[in-house]
Amino acid sequence: MGKNPSIDLLKGVLILLVMGGHVMELTGGHDLALWVGSGFRMPLMVGISGYLLNVTRIRTDSIQRLMSRYGRRMLLPWLFAGMVYLIASGAALRWTLPFDLLFRPPFHLWYVPTLFFLIMLTRLLPFTPLALLAVGTPVSLAIMYGFGLHHGPVGDSLFSPDSRFLRYLVYFFFGMLMAERRVSRRYLPIAGAVALLGLLWWSGLYDADNVLAFVPARLLMCLGLIALLPMLSALRLDFAPVNAIGRDSLFFYLWHPLVMGVLVMTDVGPAATLALSLLLLALACRLTARGTLLPLLFGSLPQGSGTVPPLAKAPLPA
């Protein structure tokens, strides 16, 4: 799927919501807005990544070509960011650290390896999106009900993955299905109604302790939103500042916690932290987009590159 300004706009909006949510978490804020945002941000991001995936190309290109593209655009910036965050956090050096970083990534670093796992799974399982959804849904439901809203490894072995590797199968494959099948316009009001019902149900569960209700409420909200992606794509919406964030979503995703963490220590307040983080990240994004090495390390879109090839498109971050 080629470049679409509406999808870039949505990615930018989601990045802003992620940053706003993280500011609230860092400053001790816990309210309904944070709860609602945490319910749909990540599933929608994963759904968009599935929606944008070029399935045919994933399955026909050589493994060397795939690793080269995703290595340069996703894995190398993620690995560099991971080392920076581990050093900054003072993590103890131990022989299991590479396995922990890959299978149980700390902080916000889980998204890139999870997305890469989903992409490679799509290559290894040569089924239609509908068949993949049929297989992945029960796995996701088992993880959701087994672990609730909490994150953690699935098992106790060295290779036990973070639960999010398997929890988001349903959203990724549903996004692929929406790209393949498209939703008739007459069904879009139904998708919107389902999303709204899930949103209201999820909002009503704020401060509740009902794991059985968390899963269906979140599924209705998120799958309904993902089903609206074809309609959003057709609108061709564009707002330059937010679209720019969406196009460089990987950079903003990887580095915003580091910038925010420094700003929070200055006690400038939540609103100022968010505004200054955006300003500093936008400036840093332009500076690291120069040359060849800096974009590879920081994940910024190189200058003069108006778009990323569909296969190498930057992952939508969390």
In a domain, 317, yes or no: no
What would the mean pLDDT of 89-94 be, rounded to a whole number?
A: 86
Question: Does residue 310 surpass a pLDDT of 80?
Answer: no
The answer to whether residue 292 is domain-embedded is yes
At residue 304, the pLDDT reads 65
DSSP output for 3-19: --HHHHHHHHHHHHHHH
Q: Say if 192 falls within a structural domain.
A: yes
Output the six-digit token pair for 294.
């800096």
What is the residue range of 67's domain? 5-312
In terms of pTM, does the model score above 0.85? yes
Q: What does the pLDDT average to over 158-171?
A: 95
Instruction: Evaluate whether residue 289 is within a structural domain.
Output: yes
Residue 318 lies in a domain: no
Least confident of 15-19, 27-31, 51-55, 314-318: 314-318
Q: How many percent of the chain have pLDDT more than 90?
A: 75
Say how many domains are in the chain.
1
184 domain-assigned: yes
Residue 106 predicted with pLDDT over 60: yes
pLDDT exceeds cutoff 60 at 314? no
Residue 212 lies in a domain: yes
Q: Is a pLDDT exceeding 70 seen at residue 33?
A: yes
Mean pLDDT for 217-229 is 96
Specify the pLDDT at position 305. 59
Which residues, other chains included, contact 47 with Cβ-Cβ below 8 Å and sequence gap of 6+?
A: 171, 172, 174, 175, 178, 222, 223, 225, 226, 229
| DSSP state, residue 96 | T
